[in-house]
Structure 1
């Protein structure tokens, strides 16, 4: 079986899960059975250890080649195969592995306001009981220490949003005509147009898929005593219990935490202003690389919202057993 023809490579928390589901509805596109296999993130087995919850994430990696190829079994004749792992854009080694294995691959990049992306990322981990710091600005300040300690990329709230650096490296490996870059807000505001643009880029019929599935609101539990106790018990269980019981315990705790939470609260201007300087130079680089204006990312937000619905996240987790990563 061949390797995939195209990849959705980034960024995390930028609608890639919803995009994967939308593309799967096109009769000429066959998306991997596992949405986020992470195959190109390693040359072999994934690492162990890291930050809270990382061990569970590493166990989800589809790292054996035969298992990865099996994700595309059953593709209709003539269909293009694709997968969506939003960490490929961030991981320079993954970019090189893709170049070595599939030099002709088409690559799809979705970029979200990096401050909003970082906040959504932090909220995801806080609501899952994994993030021990209840303020996004203070949690971002811990990033250098966490990276040095080997915490997985999903904890790299700020670094994941430095798209200019990531695209600069990607363009050194792939010709620009193989890379499609567009904004997350295009999926939100004009989904039919965004999907047509992707289909045209892949060379399949346009006008076939017109909607992007709605994502669920990530609950935002208050920093209560209950939240602290449940979160600590979840993190402790990972180091005490074997993988099976630890996963079951985590699912139970995460469900309780998110059922108690309110929908994600927007950033205040003070929080946004504190995080914008981390991206100012990279936004300038991104504008030079793409020729597009991303200056709105350095200003107050005029609105909030995204690919969200109204069902509590805890209900979603009861079905699939883990929080969504993108």
Structure 2
């Protein structure tokens, strides 16, 4: 069977794309070109509907086991196989599926300050034209109604950042020595040492990875009348685009997305008031996270900022 030996399971907007790109360069590791196959997120076909653009994302799920195994068929003999889907930590059912199929897998988790993670997540969807709520704090407040309407994981700005509960469940399934817990800022500030830590955890040679490639940086998108129109067009396309072939959909979407992202410059960082409004969502869970891991995350309770892995002005 061509199944993975290790998984990068969390969290979104915390350097998993850079981690995937870096590990792909190691001669003793194999990661498929498809990042985020999302295989463990469903037992069968994913839902057909959700929030703006969700139906198109669901079409990208590699949900058939034969297709999933085929991703790893090109792996060289003796190479450890792995993949990165950062929603696996958040989805407790996905954790259960991983346990059933890959009970001996090694799991890599990258955690980021949950307020900064949520803001980067919101910004990503805003820049893609899919997020209609221009106020980040309000977008967080809308989460429950969006979840009830079936919007996909990537819209769960708050819930995805409650790592304590997610890790408590994970460590009830897997032994602690199967889980490598990293902080996003380690990958950002000390990429070589962090990648060596990952290689040591996986049991492959260290000293071969020199950097974490610059990946997945959200472009700057201003809140203007022109961009409001462009975002409306992109959201409408996101709702109907799944009826068309992928190439047709991407070709039609490209000029509108390029126009939306035409401006350069850093996005406005979170204000102290915005941070103070969102932080209470996470305070109890940060305490749980410290209890579960035995590590301190007290810095997340302050106004400290963890910018994206490449400084895009946040």
| Aligned match of 2:163 | 163
Task: Indicate conservation of the 8 Å contact 1:106/1:178, yes or no.
Answer: yes
Give, in angstroms, the shift of residue 286 of structure 1: 0.4
207-216 or 289-298: which moved more?
207-216
Question: Match of 1:219, SS?
Answer: coil
Task: Indicate conservation of the 8 Å contact 1:33/1:72, yes or no.
Answer: no
Equivalent runs, 1:31-50 vs 2, <5 Å:
31-50=31-50
Task: Indicate conservation of the 8 Å contact 1:42/1:94, yes or no.
Answer: yes
Question: Match of 1:172, SS?
Answer: helix
Question: Match of 1:262, SS?
Answer: coil
Query: In 2, distance between residues paired with 1:70 and 1:261?
Result: 40
User: C-alpha offsets along residues 117-147 of structure 1, whole Å, 9 cap, x if unaligned?
Assistant: 0000000000110000111101111000000
Give, in angstroms, the shift of residue 217 of structure 1: 3.6
| Aligned match of 2:29 | 29
Match of 1:300 among 299, 303, 312: 303
Query: In 2, distance between residues paired with 1:216 and 1:155?
Result: 17
Question: Match of 2:52, SS?
Answer: coil
Query: In 1, distance between residues paired with 2:308 and 2:240?
Result: 38
| Aligned match of 1:120 | 120
The structure-2 alpha-carbon separation of the partners of 1:216 and 1:39, relative to structure 1 and needing over 3 Å to count, comes to: closer
| Aligned match of 1:220 | 220
| Aligned match of 1:51 | 51
* Cα RMSD for the two superposed structures: 1.6
Query: In 2, distance between residues paired with 1:141 and 1:261?
Result: 29
| Aligned match of 2:273 | 270
Query: In 2, distance between residues paired with 1:238 and 1:266?
Result: 27
1:286 maps onto 2:289 in alignment: yes
Query: In 2, distance between residues paired with 1:104 and 1:240?
Result: 41
Structure 1 residue runs of 4+, over 4 Å off?
none
Question: Match of 1:7, SS?
Answer: strand
Query: In 2, distance between residues paired with 1:261 and 1:246?
Result: 26
Task: Indicate conservation of the 8 Å contact 2:217/2:308, yes or no.
Answer: no
Question: Match of 2:166, SS?
Answer: helix
Give, in angstroms, the shift of residue 231 of structure 1: 1.2
Which runs of no fewer than 5 residues in structure 1 stay unpaired?
313-326
